[in-house]
Structure 1
Amino acid sequence: MGKVVVVENVTLDGVMQAPGGADEDVRGGFPHGGWAHPYADQVLAETMGKGMSEDGGMLFGRRTYEQFYGFWSKQTDGNPYTGVLNRKHKYVASRTLAGPLPWENSSLLEGNAVEAVAGLKRVVVGDLVVLGSGGLVRSLAKVGLIDVYTLLIHPLTLGTGMKLFAEGEDAYGTMELVETVPTTTGVIIATYRPTT
C-alpha cells in the first residue's frame, strides 16, 4: 500500500505560495515569489534527493504540474532532478485538463481527486509525493489521506500569501515529529506523521 507524502516549502508564518520564482504564482498580487532560493544548500539538496530516488509516484494539482512541466522537462544541464522527475509516474488532479498529458509518464486522475488518490494508495507501491499543490493537499488532509508531511521550514516571515493550512478551515489534528534535519542556511527539514 502506498503512502501520501507531502513535501512543502513553508515560511515561519506558514506561507507556501511561490517559493521557486517571482512569476511562479502571483495570485492575489503576491509580491514575494522566489523566497526559498537564498536558503538552498547542499544539505537540502541531498536530503530531498534521497526522497526522490525511492519507489512510487508523484501527485500534482494542475497549476503545479504545469509549472513543473514548463521548467523541469526542459532542463538539460545534467542536474540530478530532471531525470528523476521525467522517469517518475506523475498523477495529476484537474477539473480542466484533458488527456493525453504532455509530460512523459503522466496520467490524469479520473473523477473525484480524493477518491482517485484513495484508490492509488491501495495499488501503488511506495510513496506518492505531493509537491506544492496546496489545494490538493488541503483536500486530502481533510479526509485523512496524508501519511507524512515533510516541511522545509524557512527562517523568514512574509506576512502575506497562501498558507499550507488556510485560516477558517477545519482543524487537521495533531502530528508526531519523526525527524529533523537542519541545513546550513537555517532551514529545518521537519518530518511529521499525523496522529489524529
Structure 2
Amino acid sequence: MRKIIVCTFLTLDGVMQAPGGPDEDKQSGFEHGGWQKPVDDDEVGAAIGGWYEDFDAMLLGRKTYEIFASYWPTADPGNPFTDRMNSMRKYVASRTLTSLDWQNSELLQGDAADAVRKLKESDGGPISVVGSGDLAQTLMRHGLVDEYRLTIHPVIIGTGKRLFADGAIPTALEPVSVTTTKGGTVVGVYRTNGEPSYDSY
C-alpha cells in the first residue's frame, strides 16, 4: 500500500501559512507571508531534497496547486527541483477546478478522502502532501496520513493557518529521525502510530 506523507514548513508556534512569499496566501488578512527564507539554511534544503527523492507523486489542494503551477513550469532549469517538480505525477483535490494545465497533473474525482483511499491502494511509491492545509486536515480526520516530515523553524508568528489546528485527531507518533540544523530548524520525520496512551506521574 502506498504511503501518504505530509511535508510541511512550520513556525515554532505551528503556523504553516505562506512560508514562501508575502503574496503567497493572504487569506484571513495574513500579513506574515515569506517568513521562512530569513530563518532558512542550507541544511534544510538538503533535507527536503532528500525527502523528494523518495516520492513517486504529489497530492495537492487547489490553492497550492495553483501556486505551484504558476511557478514551476517556467522556473529556472538550473534549480535542481525544477525538473523533479515538473516531471512528478501530481494528483489534485478540488471542487472547483475542471481542467489542469501543468504537465503530469490529474484531477481526483468525487470525495477527496475516498479518492485518496483508492490512491493508497494503487501501485506506486510514496505520495507527498505539500502545503495544502485544508486537504491535509481532511486526510488527518480520515486517518489517511502515514507519516509527517516537518521543518520547524525558529520564528513565532502568532496568527495564521496551523497544520495541527483545533480539532486535530489525537495521534501517537513514532520518531523516525529528528535533527537540528545549524540555524536552529528542527527537521523531523514522524510515523503515525495509532492513538496516544495516557498515564500519570
Same fold (TM over 0.5): yes
**Other-structure match for 1:178:** 176
Alignment correspondent of 1:152: 151
Contact in 2 for aligned 1:2/1:56 (Cα 8 Å)? no
Q: Aligned to 1:129, what secondary structure does the other structure show?
A: strand
Give the TM-score taking structure 2 as reference length: 0.93
Distance in 2 of aligned mates of 1:86 and 1:28: 30
Give the distance between the partners of 1:55 and 1:83, measured in 2 at CA.
14
Q: How far off is 1:170 after superposition?
A: 4.5
SS of residue matched to 1:53: helix
CA contact (8 A) 1:142 1:172 kept: no
After TM superposition, give the deviation of residue 55 of structure 1 in Å. Answer: 4.5
The separation in 2 between residues aligned to 1:137 and 1:61, in whole angstroms, is: 8
- Summarize the alignment of residues 53-64 of structure 1 with structure 2, pairs less than 5 Å apart: 53-64=53-64
User: Counterparts of 1:23 and 1:60 in 2: how far apart (Å)?
Assistant: 19
Report 1:106-145 matches (<5 A).
106-145=105-144
Tell me the amino acid that sits aligned with residue 152 of structure 1: T
Count residues in correspondence.
Answer: 194
Supply the distance in 2 between the matched residues of 1:14 and 1:185 (Cα, whole angstroms).
Answer: 18
Q: Unaligned regions of 5+ residues in structure 2, if any?
A: 195-201
CA distance in 1 between partners of 2:163 and 2:115 (Å): 22
Instruction: Tell me if the contact between 1:4 and 1:130 (Cα under 8 Å) persists in the aligned partners.
Output: yes
Q: State the SS of the aligned residue for 1:52.
A: helix
Residue matched to 1:73: 73
State the shift of 1:47 in Å: 1.2
- Is 1:56–1:124's contact at 8 Å kept on the other side of the alignment? no
Structure 1's unaligned 5+ residue stretches are none
Which amino acid in the other structure matches residue 160 of structure 1? T
Amino acid of the residue matched to residue 180 of structure 2? P
The share of aligned pairs that are identical, in percent, is: 45
Query: 1:98 is matched with which residue?
Result: 98
Deviations 1:20-76 (A, max 9, x none): 100000011111000011122221111111121234100000000000111122112
What's the TM-score once normalised by structure 1's chain length? 0.95
- AA partner of residue 17 (structure 2): Q
